[in-house]
Chains A and B, each alone.
Chain A
Amino acid sequence: MSGNMNINLKVWRQKNGKSQGKLVDYKVENVSPDMSFLEMFDVLNDRLINEGKDEPIAFDHDCREGICGSCSMYINGRPHGPNQGVTTCQLHMRSFKDNDTIVVEPWRSAAFPVIKDLATNRSAFDRIIASGGFISINTGNAQDANSLPIPKGDADDSFAAAACIGCGACVAACKNSSAMLFVSAKVSQLALLPQGAPERATRVLNMVAQMDAEGFGSCTNTGACEAECPKQISLTNIARLNREYYKAALFSNEG
């Protein structure tokens, strides 16, 4: 078809977490601009299976509509590739040109060890949520939902923070591998809501402690996380996290 492209890929191949990895060249021909980036990988994997030489490339993906947070490719030095506010699965080949060379790597962070090829282990995020990213309410305890009016502005800001998909692009983008944007999104979501108030102090202290224990780096406010976040989670959440943290550390009885 006219308009179709040839793409030169350099893809990180790594047998497992223990072995050394390397970039391997693949040429993918006749790529339709309407194809998604992952569909190009499907085509390549199909070919690899048919040729029977190389194993297909392992990568995480699931919903392919930008919401589950599974997909995680580091494309030409940027998490989720060149477009703003877009996950890898929503990146389409029309964002590239004929004969482009594209380098694809896994997330790079000691806290996200490689499982195989482009798939990494991001369970550190789950453990951070388990340390405090919740409201302690058991099923059946709730009062009527409208008994607690919440100013629309607070609800909207809380929602904007809650839009985080936990993909880890913020960590991959950061030169320090900091998870501050991820942690601050959850802290902000709950700090902005009256329901979250009772555990406000313990939450932020515990989550930050867990974040440090997982080996994520410190935040030096470079803002790469915000720039690369597919859900455009704002840096102001980190400022809020810092305020919450200092408040809790200095004034809370629970600290």
Chain B
Amino acid sequence: MSKIDSKIPAGDLETKWTKYKSSVQLVNPSNKRNLEIVVVGSGLAGSSAATSLAELGYKVKVFCFQDSPRRAHSIAAQGGINAAKNYQNDGDSVYRLFYDTIKGGDYRAREANVHRLAEVSSNIIDQAVASGVPFAREYGGLLSNRSFGGTQVQRTFYAAGQTGQQLLLGAYSGLQRQIGIGNVQMFARHEMLEVVNIDGKCRGIIARDLVSGKLERHFGHAVLLCTGGYGNVFYLSTNAMACNVTAAWKAHKKGAYFANPCYTQIHPTCIPVSGDHQSKLTLMSESLRNDGRIWVPKRKEDAEAIRNGKLNPNDLKEEDRDYYLERRYPAFGNLVPRDVASRAAKERCDAGFGVNKTGEAVYLDFAFNMKYKYGKQVATLKHISNPTEAQLTEFGHEVIKEKYGNLFDMYKQITGVNPYENPMMIYPAVHYTMGGLWVDYNLMTTVPGLYALGEANFSDHGANRLGASALMQGLADGYFVIPYTIGAYLANEISVKSISTDHEAFVEAEKNVQSTIEKLFAVKGTKPVDFFHKRLGKIIWDNCGMSRNVKDLTKAISDIQALREEFWKDVRVTGEANDFNPELEKAGRVADFIELGELMCKDALERNESCGGHFREDHQTEEGEALRDDENFKNVSAWEFKETGNWDLHQEELVYENIKIAQRSYK
């Protein structure tokens, strides 16, 4: 086990980034034109990075596996984006956003990175508005805010329940502008399948044209992986169907350390699983917890009657309901962080209070605020002094519709139940992965010239991410961090001419990709790729999900090893290599997920503590809260790949100079 250097600049926390920006090496404009950068992924991090770097004058190539860069999964983020603007005059500041994020991450994130994130958060909102992102506004024409979990201020900017869509389309339009001018070359329907290292530096990638099936070699002085998280290792998650770990995993196998793989976020408010056919889970935005109250019946017999369809939840009296988050966490109530809310839901359902057929659902109920918060407000505006209950409902309905209309429509479409009339049913589901490629302060991985941005890296969210912080981080990395930090590396690369893709390293890398594809076809087994993906997902969900223990994790590791063997003996990949072949794409991704799954369980097993989303049953307080072990685990686990199923563990000590670490409390 060795220590690794995060290259955090010296000096006060508040001035580190400013000083860094003023002293980092620059690349002069004429040299930028000769430097090529490969960006993999076109979500918020990828689009904003590619655009900003192209504007600076670098030659940029962008790759995405979707048919258009606009479809990256950032598009599906619903609730909002945080920024320390303090437009609400409610006591927000850069320090408070920094503090909330470190605390929300259960003291497992790097101070310097998080402070930088909080510092640039305001610029992101400015940039987005200037590029035409239509955020929600008040009647005075100024921007509107709402609250998210783990905070006591209103700092979340939003565009109805489509904030990710609007931000991505903003970044995408900037990217398209650069493509139109010729500064960015776009490769849609291309999947990165290997990184190419030459003399210890990353110098390009091998990509597969998903339409023709042809393998291509692309040189870059630097390569940026902006390829998102690995939540689909669980098979069922709120990720898009094609979200995958492949790019990050190939980089990992070529020398990039993988940090904290066991830190996964289970989001508390998702639509429950309805049957075996289920292909993905749908999130109901955390913003709903502003106005929705979470409850289960107080008595088990009521829960059972509801499950059997004998009792309508609307008929259950107020005093017979257990608003368990408000009960357990009076200070934050329904707005506790995601990991806390998810575990609390699981606890109630495991204890027999679940409210749907499977027993794995709780209510998210808007009736109270619809009537008594918004209905009353509107009645007052209309000068109706004694509104009837029906009037209150009618008035409140309109307000709720404006705030959350698209989410309510989505819920109704998926479940067939009208959430304006019945409480929503929700259950936790896999949503985000805090772990990812280890990066230093410059966002560089352990391979020189290879960077990771956005969800693909590990750096800012510790063991639990706060709501509305993913969009913030993706855009911070792309718009405001990498344009500076990449100079530190490229300033020393200006004399390096473009390396021919006939170089033996490219030839070798392409050969490896080719042979993996051939190997997949050669198995000629009996089971479709999805069969293995579902089995893997179940192993991980059952053993490395919301709560974990030594016995199950140990068994999961051997189960996954066995699954890996079975996959390579019995998978059936149909079609041909030189063709548009979604089955082949899936097969490659699932093969990588299986290897990652083993590392996740290994990481969860080695981390003998609970923190944030990593809850070990053998490390909890008397009240069932996560119990950290700061003496032994105030660090980042960074795994170095040796060979399949074999890793070396390195650690980065986390130093807290500005925050006093404590048991996290939301009571």
Contacts and interface: CB of A to CB of B under 8 A. Distances in A.
A46 B179 contact: no
Interface string A113-129: 00110010111011001
A59 B159 CA distance: 30
A75 interface: no
A126 B69 contact: yes
Contact of B174 (A32, A131, A134, A159): A134
B241 A61 contact: yes
A49 B528 contact: yes
Given A126-B186, A145-B135, 9 more contacts: A39-B279, A49-B528, A65-B410, A68-B71, A68-B73, A145-B125, A146-B85, A152-B139, A189-B134
B581 to A, nearest CB: 8
Interface string A138-177: 1111111110111110010011001101100000000000
A82 interface: no
A139 B410 contact: no
B123 interface: yes
B506 to A, nearest CB: 27
B305 interface: no
B172 interface: yes
A127 B125 CA distance: 27
Contacts of B29: none
A71 to B, nearest CB: 10
B277 A42 contact: yes
B177 interface: yes
A58 interface: yes
A117 B128 CA distance: 38
A67 B165 contact: yes
A240 interface: no
26 contacts: A34-B277, A38-B279, A39-B278, A42-B279, A42-B530, A56-B574, A62-B242, A63-B75, A63-B240, A64-B282, A69-B70, A85-B409, A123-B188, A130-B180, A134-B173, A138-B55, A139-B174, A140-B479, A145-B85, A145-B125, A146-B85, A146-B143, A149-B142, A159-B159, A159-B166, A195-B132
A55 to B, nearest CB: 5
B182 to A, nearest CB: 10
Contacts of B283: 65
B421 interface: no
Nearest to A43: B277
B160 A159 contact: yes
Contacts of A189: 132, 134
A16 interface: yes
B173 A55 contact: no
Contacts of A69: 68, 70-71
B67 A155 contact: no
A36 interface: yes
A148 B580 CA distance: 47
Contacts of B574: 48-49, 52, 55-56
Interface of B: 48, 51-52, 55, 66-71, 73, 75-76, 85, 87, 123, 125-132, 134-143, 159-160, 162, 164-166, 169, 172-174, 176-177, 179-180, 186, 188, 211, 240-242, 274-275, 277-280, 282-283, 409-410, 413-414, 416, 479-480, 483, 526, 528, 530, 572, 574-575, 579-583
B532 to A, nearest CB: 12
Contact of A126 (B135, B176, B483): B176
A139 B48 contact: yes
A133 B175 CA distance: 11
B67 A60 contact: yes
A126 B68 contact: yes
Contacts of A94: 416
B166 A162 contact: yes
- The 9 A-B residue pairs whose C-beta atoms are closest, nearest first, are A149-B141, A130-B180, A142-B130, A134-B173, A142-B126, A159-B134, A130-B176, A139-B52, A145-B129
A34 B276 CA distance: 11
A70 interface: yes
Given A35-B277, A121-B67, A159-B166, A152 B141 contact: yes
A67 B75 contact: yes
A91 to B, nearest CB: 8
A165 B241 CA distance: 17
A46 B241 CA distance: 16
Interface in A45-100: 45-46, 48-50, 52, 55-56, 58, 60-70, 83, 85-86, 90, 92, 94
A215 interface: no
B165 A133 contact: no
B590 to A, nearest CB: 14
A146 B604 CA distance: 45
- Could you tell me the dominant secondary structure of chain A's interface residues? loop
A193 interface: yes
Contact of B240 (A45, A62, A141): A62
A250 interface: no
B240 A64 contact: yes
Contacts of A60: 67
A69 B73 CA distance: 11
A204 to B, nearest CB: 14
Contacts of A32: 275, 277
B368 to A, nearest CB: 27
A130 B280 CA distance: 32
Contacts of A152: 137-139, 141
Contacts of B125: 145
Given A69-B70, A134-B173, A145-B143, A63 B126 contact: no
Contacts of B66: 62, 68, 70
Contacts of A158: 134
Contacts of B526: 50
Contacts of B73: 62-63, 68
A92 to B, nearest CB: 7
A141 to B, nearest CB: 7
Contacts of B575: 55-56
Given A155-B137, A159-B159, A166 B70 contact: yes
Given A49-B572, A90-B413, A129-B173, A148 B129 contact: yes
B179 A130 contact: yes
Contacts of B528: 45-46, 49-50
Nearest to A86: B413
Nearest to A87: B413
B410 to A, nearest CB: 7
Nearest to A158: B134
B123 A142 contact: yes
A150 B135 CA distance: 10
A213 interface: no
Contacts of B169: 162
B160 A49 contact: no
A114 B134 CA distance: 34
A162 B134 contact: yes
A86 B409 CA distance: 10
Nearest to B210: A115
Nearest to A46: B528
